[in-house]
Amino acid sequence: MSVYIKSSAVISSFNSFGSDVELNESADTSFIQANEPPYSDYIPRNLIRRMSRVVKMSIACSSKIKNDSGISDYGAILVGTGLGCVVDSEKFLIQVSEDETSVLSPTPFIQSTHNTMAGQIALLETQHCENMTYSNRGHSFENALMDGMMYIKEGRDNVLVGGSDELSPIVKELHQKLCLSKPSAFLKKVGEGAGFFLLSGVAEKGKTRIEDLLTFEVNGKDDFKNKLEKFILKHDLHSGLDLVLLGAVKGKIDPFSQILLSLLSDSIGVGTFKEVSGEFHTASAVGLALADKLLQGEGFDHDIWVNRPEKTRPKKVLIYNNYLGHNHSLYLLSV
């Protein structure tokens, strides 16, 4: 059973909403902010004001997919998020920490639940289908995607899958402190964003096909290498692979990504998506959307290349990601 990406939408330091979108480059060295589209084009105006950014990014992505695909009846709605509605959570926590006995506004509490994004999509489109939210660190999005692939196997069509996270003042502050106190090969600029996908089991010419998704934890580098070798052998990746997209940054490729590169042919193109997304629990949703763009021949203007691929339109792409050296994942995609 194959799973195809019928349509995708992404918001990161780049987005897929306009035709000439500039990269949102911040002078700050510790975080990368999302380049948000004009929300009023995608979300009812009366609702925008009340929604937090992570909800707006998610709704904008699902609306764009609806506009592009013409489909608004979903087989299931499945969202992954690492920190959920962290800005509203912080707002409510601050109220509680300051004075628990004062009159507390319930609004940020109501909007703080992790399933707000999936719930709001269901509410806006009146979708009663299965609705799930995964919050599992660097595998939050992968859990949602795997569930989507399971629903396709069970015979559903048009399954909406997404990953989204937002930056908050406290996340930024603590991350900055962490970067200063514990320099490590895995620490990157912290980021935010959303990537949403409409999955189908119906083959459509030219659409990106998800051949495999593997999520795993490792016990040391040898165990990691063994697991990679098995995956490479299973899919015969010594030939035919055009590009590997790493959840890394150009100048500071982490040790696990280095091991992967050592196992693949030197002529393969190598790109680094966290160069533009930054690090967050669901950054791989941005990575998948970027890979989908490249496989669809849309190209990408920004310099993410360690080794620019020979073909301008790759046919087979491997994504490898980890979160702070844990929560490893491999995606094999083709057209």
Partner 1 sequence: MKKVYVSGVGIISALGVGVAEHARKLFSKETGIAPVSILPTKHRAYHVGEIKKTTQDLAESHRWAEFNDKSRNIVLGAYALSEAIESAELNTDQLNETGFINATTVGGMDKTEVIHGQLLAQESVDLSTYLHHDCGDSGHALGNHFGLNGFRSTISTACSSSTNSIMQGARMIKLGISERMIVGGVDALSLFTFNGFRSLQILDPDWCKPFDMNRKGLNLGEGAAYLVLESEESLQERNGKALAEISGYGNANDAFHQTASSEEGNGAYMAMNSAIENSGLQLDQIDYVNAHGTATPINDSSEGNALKRIFGTKIPPYSSTKAYTGHTLAAAGSVEAVISIIAIREQKVCPNLNLTAPIESINPPAQDATKLSIKHVLSNSFGFGGNCSSVIISAV
- Distance CA(3)–CA(66), nearest Å, equals 19
CA neighbor of 121 nearest in space, from 69, 79, 155: 79
Q: What are the tokens at 246? A: 């790493």
Q: Which residues pair with 168 in a beta bridge?
A: none
Q: CB of 117 within 8 A of CB of 81?
A: yes
Site string for partner 1, 174-193 (x = CB under 8 A): x--xx--xx-----------
Cβ neighbours of residue 76 closer than 8 Å, sequence gap 6 or more: 129, 130, 131, 132, 147, 148, 151, 156, 159, 160
Binding mask 34-63 for partner 1 (x = CB under 8 A): ------------------------------
Which stretch, 61-69, 100-108, 268-276, 286-294, contacts partner 1 (CB under 8 A)?
100-108
Which residues make Cβ contacts (< 8 Å) with residue 103, sequence separation at least 6?
A: none
Binding flag, residue 119, partner 1 (CB under 8 A): yes
State yes or no: residue 30 binds partner 1 (CB under 8 A).
no
Angle of helix 140-153 relative to helix 283-295, nearest 10 degrees? Answer: 60
Count interface residues toward partner 1 (CB under 8 A).
62
Nearer to partner 1, 23 or 104 (CB): 104
Residue 173 tokens, joined: 């502050």
- Residues within window 238-297 making contact with partner 1, judged by CB under 8 A: 281
**Nearest approach, Cβ of 49 to partner 1 (angstroms)?**
15
| CA 334 to the chain's CA centroid | 18
Is 222 near partner 1 (CB under 8 A)? no
Pick one of 28, 41, 73, 96: the residue that binds partner 1 (CB under 8 A). 96
For partner 1, the binding residues (CB under 8 A) are 77, 82-84, 89-90, 92-98, 100-101, 104-106, 109-116, 118-120, 122-123, 125-137, 139-140, 143, 147, 150, 153-154, 170, 173-174, 177-178, 181-182, 215, 217, 281, 326
